[in-house]
Amino acid sequence: MPVHELAQLTWEEVRDLDRAHSIVVLPVGAMEAHGPHLPLATDIVIAGAMARAGARRLAARHAVLILPALAYTAASFAAKFNGTLSVSAITVTALIVDLARSLSAQGFRLLAIANAHLDPEHLTALHEAVKLAKADKLLPVVFPDLTRRPWGSRLGEEFKSGACHAGQFESSIVLREHPSGVRDKIRRTLPANPQSLSEAIKSGKRTFEEAGGPRAYFGNPAAASAEEGSALVDALGGILEEAVVEAMA
């Protein structure tokens, strides 16, 4: 089955899609500081890679439509770093629900969120959108939260440790998907930062600085590789596929 990008279609081409059997995928990221070596759009790059990998898998059974990425969301942990653009969680929830309402009106089957931004306020906003869409009887909204079981366990030891912002995990994916965006000379010199963001969040920390990331990175970016990035993108695509298949079962 085909994989389409909405932004590249005409309205008549969308009209002629088999919308009742089409899955829509929304990549979701943030404009947020990712260390001194990765671009602000890192989450958007990763979300797009997850969306495409998942779409290729799902296309074995369904037509898939990929939406333009949502690039602005709640990013309070990195808000003090220049270039980070944060909006309120309520805005994010409202936007997702409105998209679901519009897609429902056009007869699409399901909306899947390929999310790569893990700020807790943002995650709460997405979960709230899923609940509100269900309450309003809109099309199903599927959101595999990578911070919850079983998904995160498939993404490597660094990810499971919680020390994974702009570290080996994210740097590997950007090296694979957008190598020209990586400041590689800087990346190779960065010492590992083993501070766990997930543990910091549990203990009440609310910023990267409080969590022990004064340069907005956690983990070991110097250990990243494009080869690992390929494997991680494949794993992310599998997670999206499995979440959608489970929701449709």
- Write 6-9 long-range contacts (CB < 8 A, 24+): 6/65, 6/66, 6/67, 6/68, 7/67, 7/68
| Whether the bond into 150 is cis, omega within 30 of 0 | yes
3-state class of 106 per DSSP? coil
What pLDDT score was predicted for residue 249?
87
Alpha carbons 85 and 75: distance in angstroms, whole number: 7
- Looking at the whole model, is its pTM more than 0.85? yes
What pLDDT score was predicted for residue 234?
98
Please report, for the domain that includes residue 174, its CATH number: 3.40.50.10310
Q: Which domain holds residue 210?
A: 3-248
Q: What is the largest CA-CA distance in the chain?
A: 53
What pLDDT score was predicted for residue 185?
98
Alpha carbons 79 and 88: distance in angstroms, whole number: 12
Number of domains comprising the chain:
1
Q: Which residue type does 19 have?
A: R
Alpha carbons 73 and 182: distance in angstroms, whole number: 23
What pLDDT score was predicted for residue 210?
96
- The answer to whether 228 and 168 have CB atoms below 8 angstroms apart is yes
Mean pLDDT by runs of 10 across the 249 residues of the chain is 95 96 98 98 98 97 96 96 98 98 98 97 98 98 96 94 97 98 98 96 95 97 98 98 95
| β-bridge mates for residue 86, sequence order | 73
What pLDDT score was predicted for residue 1?
84
